[in-house]
A and B are shown apart, each in its own frame.
Chain A
Amino acid sequence: DGGITQSPKYLFRKEGQNVTLSCEQNLNHDAMYWYRQDPGQGLRLIYYSQIVNDFQKGDIAEGYSVSREKKESFPLTVTSAQKNPTAFYLCASRGTVNSPLHFGNGTRLTVT
C-alpha cells in the first residue's frame, strides 16, 4: 500500500535542541514538500525538493534544514535557531507538475 509516512506522530523537545522529523514515501514521487501549520495560519511552505540531491527554500525556511539524499526520504531538521518551533508539520509529495499532492499524517512538535 503506497503512501507517505511521517514519524513520530507526536514529538516533544526541550528548547535549544535540534530535532529531525522523518518523511518517507514509497510512491516513487520526485517532488517532496514540508509545510508548517499553526492555528488559523493555513499551510506555510518550509522547503521543497523537485528531485534527489536538490532542494529549495520555501516561504519560511529560516531555522530549518533539509536533505534529499534518497528519492524516498526528505527529513526536516528543526534547529535551535527556529524561534517558535511548536507546530504541526506536514510532509507531502507528488509525481509530476499538476498531479495531486499526497500528504502524510503529520508530526505535532512541542518544544518547551
Chain B
Amino acid sequence: GQQVMQIPQYQHVQEGEDFTTYCNSSTTLSNIQWYKQRPGGHPVFLIQLVKSGEVKKQKRLTFQFGEAKKNSSLHITATQTTDVGTYFCLRSNDYKLSFGAGTTVTVRA
C-alpha cells in the first residue's frame, strides 16, 4: 500500500493558537482516516473522510478532504495541552496499511 505524505513532521504550537497538518497523496484516495497517539499511548481512531470536499468537525478539530481526493487536512483551533501527541493519516482501502511519520505536536503554555 502506498502511504500518504504528511507535513509538517513536527509542530510546536503556542497554547491558544491554531495549526494545520496536511496529508498529500500522488494518487486519488478512496477515503482517508485520521488517528491520534498521545505520548506513551497507542493510536486512536478519530475520523474517516470519504466524499470529495467533505468537512467534518469534532469540537476544535476540523477535518477536510480535498476536492480531488488527493489531500486531507486537520485543523485545530485554540490549541490546548490536551492536543499534544502525534496525528497520523492513513489511506485505508488497502490491506497493507502503512503509516507515515505523522505530525508530532507539542504545546507551550
Are B101 and A40 neighbours in the complex by a CB distance under 8 Å? Answer: yes
Are B95 and A58 neighbours in the complex by a CB distance under 8 Å? Answer: no
Shortest CB-to-CB span from A109 to chain B, Å, is 15
Which residues from chain A contact B99 at a C-beta distance below 8 Å? Answer: 35, 42-45
The residue in chain A whose Cβ has the minimal distance to the Cβ of B30 is: A98
A101 touches which one: B41, B45, B86, B101 (CB < 8 A)? Answer: B45
Shortest CB-to-CB span from B106 to chain A, Å, is 13
Which residues from chain A contact B95 at a C-beta distance below 8 Å? Answer: 31, 48, 50, 56, 97
Are B43 and A98 neighbours in the complex by a CB distance under 8 Å? Answer: no
Are A103 and B43 neighbours in the complex by a CB distance under 8 Å? Answer: yes
B96 touches which one: A58, A103, A104, A106 (CB < 8 A)? Answer: A58
* Distance of A101 Cα from B31 Cα, bound (Å): 14
Interface residues, chain B, CB within 8 Å of chain A? 9, 30-31, 33, 35, 41-45, 48, 86, 88, 90, 92-102, 104
